[in-house]
Amino acid sequence: MHLYEKRGKALTMSCHHTLEAYMHAYLEGIGLAAEPKLDLILQRTAALGMRGKVTISHGFCLGDLAERERDALLARMAELRVAIVTTAPAAVPVPSVAACRAAGVTVIGGNDGVRDTWTPFGSPDMLERAMLIAMRDDFRRDDALEVALDCVTHGGARGCGFVDYGLEAGKRADVVLVDVATFAEAVVARPLRRLVVSSGKIVARDGVLL
């Protein structure tokens, strides 16, 4: 938040338990009481006029709260256009994608480390990430599986503020082609990428980089 106060830049705030001590130190440094971290982030977002400029990374706390408390925070996040990024990890509480979306909060699916010292399971494959989001949220219907896909496509673009994203004339030509009958099948099957186009240039064909 201090960086925004000085430079006016958009921020991504990591919001998980290991950073609690750092946030408390920051709060003490600017003369604020050590209230729950997400609540304080929302307070500062409003106070600094940062609507639409903050993204919460992980937000594990939202998976730990009672529904009423969680929904109240999600309503404030939606009002302030605070997005959330999730990796859909298996071993910790995570925000409900369905609850976030129902509240109007943009959910972005992302990766946190690619086979590094943080985790041996990281992968840059966004269809795989969509599958993990679907599994973590117990999405089973086709329309729910499409929500998981949206998290790694249009939802990610919305959260990042991309205005030239999508399959429309004049948009940036980023396309991944797969041989499936439905979007839901793409999430479940994660088939071979027949063609990958980046900025109008073919960069991979049949799973092989060119």
CATH of the domain at 29: 3.20.20.140
Per-residue pLDDT tens over the stretch 156-165: 999 988 989 9
Domain that holds residue 38: 2-166
What is residue 39's predicted lDDT score, i.e. its pLDDT? Answer: 85
Nearest one of 164, 158, 166 to 78, comparing CA atoms: 158
**Contact between 60 and 107 (Cβ < 8 Å):** no
Give the whole-angstrom CA distance, residue 1 versus residue 13. 9
Count structural domains, the chain: 1
Residue type, 183: F
- Half-sphere exposure (CA, 13 Å, Cβ side) for 93? 13
Residue 14 — pLDDT band, cuts 50, 70, 90?
Answer: low
* pLDDT tens column, 62-79: 888 889 999 999 999 999
The three-state secondary structure class of 200 is: coil
Q: Judge whether 191 lies within some domain.
A: no
Give a yes or no: residue 186 inside a domain.
Answer: no
Q: By the 8 A CB rule, do 123 and 111 touch?
A: yes
Res 34: pLDDT: 46
Distance from CA of residue 86 to its chain's centroid? 5
pLDDT of residue 60: 83
What residue type is 189 in one-letter code?
A
